[in-house]
Chain A
Amino acid sequence: MSDDNMIRILKAGKRYRIGSGEIEVLRDVSLEVKKGEFVSVMGQSGSGKTTLMNLIGMLDSPSGGIISIDGTDITGKSQKELVALRRRTVGFVFQQFHLIPSLTAWENVALPLIFAGKEDIGYVAAALGRVGLSHRSEHKPAELSGGEQQRVAIARAIVMRPKILLADEATGALDAATGSMIISLLRSLAGEMTVIMVTHNSELAKLSDRIVNLKDGNIEEKK
């Protein structure tokens, strides 16, 4: 354990109740990710990759164990505290982009600022500039290509200058060339922030600093 850890997970587990039974998605998972590190999480479908991302992103709570984000133990925190911590610490990029269709690229990127009650003093323009979409800011998602939509989603994820960027299958809905471009973008963001990327593509995963393999709810480090 070192002081420059951004994420520290110790024996975390996650069980879901389904009907009268329970399924264990993650079992005693322990993981440390350094500040600015770029980590890929790989694994078969159902291995618990998305669940792990949701736990790190504070969208879900562990059934057991300890999760610490930027030195703060998040287990046992109230929903309100988690929302506040999530706003300033974590940015999300999803496979399906998850942009709001009625809003322009600019407005979609501004959403986290609106919810945080933070005034936009050039944050949105900077984020769109960072992903190379300043010229498409007034376009709605339907008017953008898949790659552009994902870049808007990345701009939205980084507009609050989070310490952690979580990308769940961010290239899954894109062609190979566009996927590579998105990974390059994520690669360029690593260093400024900790990037954790879930992917099925081992070639793209090789571009990260470290690959974590999840199998049956447990972690196997690859590199």
Chain B
Amino acid sequence: MHWLEEHWLGVSLILMGGGVWWLMPRSWQLPRIIGLITALAGAYLMSWGIKSVGGDLGDTVMFWVFATGAIACAILMITNRNPVYAALWFALATLNVCGLFWLEAAPFLAAATVIVYAGAIVVTFVFVIMLAQQSGATAYDQHARQPLLATLAAFLVLGLLLGMLRDANPGDVLVAKAQSPGVTANLLSQPAPGKTLDDDTMRGLGRSLFGDYLFAVELAGTLLLIATIGAIAIAPRRSRGTL
């Protein structure tokens, strides 16, 4: 156990990367459940090593449920051979991420993400997949490109991120900040006096968006308009009656 405490980062990265590599689509099929369980075990070991101290029990249980769902759905999405199933796994991953948003005192963001992603983006993508791949399974979905090298590179990046997180220890940063507040956010972006982030979410988010970031909101609206026009201009006409 002592050895594991020393090397939890490497072990967890190897476990998770090996599991994901196991699940990658290739010409032979390995039993998928083994890879998924290995990858999830690596992910659990990862957060065990970060030494997270739980809040209250309900939040902790909900966090584990949503985090497991998000990571499992993400793994299944990037390794599924059927693009329609992959899009549906992505929708499930989105729902789990929205659960995490909810736990982090961002209910408006959770609702907006469900509406925009699961309601609009995924549906459009599934439509395009079904229009474009009417003949069924295609060869290029059955073979991942460079599975070993890509997995190595990706989990090297994850290892760097987690190592940085372990060394930086954001909890200590918070404590230091509470003792000597330096640069603080704009007053409009902070919760009202006497209230916390969790009490005051909707009102505070509205004040932040339409007070502190009003100009950016206008810019984002213009961006949406331009993107709509651009999408209509780029999208091909139906010349021969087909897609």
User: Do A and B assemble together?
Assistant: no
Query: Which residues of chain A have a CB within 8 Å of any CB of chain B?
Result: none
